[in-house]
A and B are shown apart, each in its own frame.
Chain A
Amino acid sequence: MNFQEALFKYLLILGDTSLILAQRLSEWTGHGPFLEEDLALTNIALDTLGHAKTLLEYAAKVENKGRDEDKLAYFRNGREFYNVKLVEQPNGNYADTIVRQVFMDAFRYHYYKALCESKDETLTALAQKAVKEVQYHYRHSSWWIKRFGDGTEESHQKAQNAINNLWRFTGELFVPDESELIMEEEKIAPSLKQIQYIWNEEMQNLMKEATLTIPENAFMQTGGKQGIHTEHLDYILAEMQSLPRMYPEAKW
């Protein structure tokens, strides 16, 4: 893998993770448990889609084969998507969505914060903006974790079930792909090891405060960054890509 190939793949990992998370969150639009939450998830989805757009736009430029961000989003198949498996997991109930979100918000917050120090100017510019947006998201999802965990018996149970189910997908966030290792060496990508340390500590503290428990010695799923996904991704793509694939030249 040469530098250009590694940078392209690295941008796809980041961009696809944002894109699929945004698509999942936008499924809540019009279905939120109440109006303020509907607004919240729609806003978070939009910010996240903005990050995806910037990252895929840059990926297309690096690839330099005449594709743009839309071509990358709408005309690749499941095996060519490199998002982590966590973001493609179904929305489930509200606790499932919020647990997935707090794992991702904490990760993205510390990732973008570290990315502000990248040697790549396009990435630092995006990171400076994104870190502020994600901080706001993180605030929102940690509120809810505390409310669920320390709320009623039922809300506690639902949040605990969601953690038990989703925890096994969190390890992958910190297992670097070959491209990430190359970018780390080039001082373009931040060190996943350092972020893992902070992330773990923060999640342990947050869950403790919320009276929830993180499973011990769980087997961690991997593969998303190499294009091997759970069965859920293809359903997302089928919906997300159907219009541009039926009408490739459609404009609005």
Chain B
Amino acid sequence: MDKNSIFKILENIPDPEIPVVNIVELGMIKDVLVNDNNEIVVQIMPTYTACPATWQIQNDIQKKLSENNLNAKVEIVYSPAWTTDRITPEASEKLKKYGIAPPQKNGTIHQLTEQSVVIPCPHCGSTNTKLVSPFGSTPCKALMQCNDCLEPFDYFKCHL
């Protein structure tokens, strides 16, 4: 079994919190190592140190690979740190369709709390939005609201 085919299998594992995107396109897989004895190690990068989904993802990977008759070790790797830059453009688009504003490249968390960046509303596209709460339903999200369509929405915090 080669690395690419394992990546293909991992693409079928959704993020436990945001099921419209998979763990590969979120950039959570650092690497897959296969040695000569066909032993597999999947290295995952947690988005946040305490993200409760990390343990769930570990289990999901083991389960999915064992369905394919593969035995893998899952390693949590903290260095280099995961950043929102690892999220693919396709995944960003899926997040938007799901109602979560994807991270803005120039919208670091520091700037966000100063409200100097514009986060467009994922529902109507308006740029007239406001920050409701810098902390949201999961460690990776902030809560915002659109001043035009009045819909509340989640913003995936930029973590660079």
A40 in contact with B109 given A50-B50, A125-B81, A128-B79 (CB within 8 Å) = no
CB <8 Å contact, B113 and A36:
no
A:104-135 near B, CB below 8 Å: 121-122, 124-126, 128-130, 132-133, 135
**Chain A nearest Cβ from B131, distance in angstroms:** 10
Q: Which chain B positions have C-beta within 8 A of A124?
A: 79
Q: Bin chain A's interface residue count.
A: 20 to 34
Secondary structure at the B interface, as helix, strand, loop or mixed, is: loop
A136 in contact with B137 given A47-B48, A121-B79, A129-B81 (CB within 8 Å) = no
Q: Which chain A positions have C-beta within 8 A of B77?
A: 125
Q: Which chain B positions have C-beta within 8 A of A129?
A: 46, 48-49, 78, 81-82
Bound complex: CA A40 to CA B136 (Å): 7
Secondary structure at the A interface, as helix, strand, loop or mixed, is: helix
CB <8 Å contact, B135 and A36:
yes
Q: Which chain A positions have C-beta within 8 A of B80?
A: 125, 128
CB <8 Å contact, B49 and A36:
no
Bound complex: CA A40 to CA B50 (Å): 15
Identify which of A36, A39, A46, A125 contacts B79 (C-beta below 8 A).
A125
Q: Could you give, for residues 157-176 of chain A, a 1 whenever the CB lies within 8 Å of some chain B CB and a 0 otherwise?
A: 00000000000000000000
A47 in contact with B50 given A40-B133, A132-B109 (CB within 8 Å) = yes
Number of interface residues of B (CB under 8 A): 25
Bound complex: CA A119 to CA B139 (Å): 29
Is A146's beta carbon under 8 Å from chain B? no
Bound complex: CA A40 to CA B135 (Å): 5
Q: Which chain A positions have C-beta within 8 A of B50?
A: 46-51, 53
Chain A, Cβ-Cβ closest to B138 = A43
Bound complex: CA A147 to CA B136 (Å): 21
Is B97's beta carbon under 8 Å from chain A? no
- Top 7 nearest A-B pairs (CB, nearest first) are A50-B50, A125-B79, A50-B49, A125-B78, A36-B133, A40-B135, A43-B135
Query: A35-B133, A121-B79, A129-B81 known; 11 other A-B pairs, CB under 8 Å?
Result: A36-B133, A39-B136, A42-B135, A47-B48, A53-B49, A53-B50, A54-B49, A132-B81, A132-B109, A133-B49, A133-B139
Pairs across A and B, CB under 8 Å, 29 listed: A35-B133, A36-B133, A39-B136, A39-B143, A40-B133, A43-B135, A43-B136, A46-B50, A46-B52, A46-B139, A47-B50, A47-B139, A50-B48, A50-B50, A54-B49, A54-B78, A121-B79, A125-B77, A128-B78, A129-B82, A132-B81, A133-B48, A136-B109, A136-B110, A136-B113, A136-B157, A139-B110, A140-B113, A140-B134
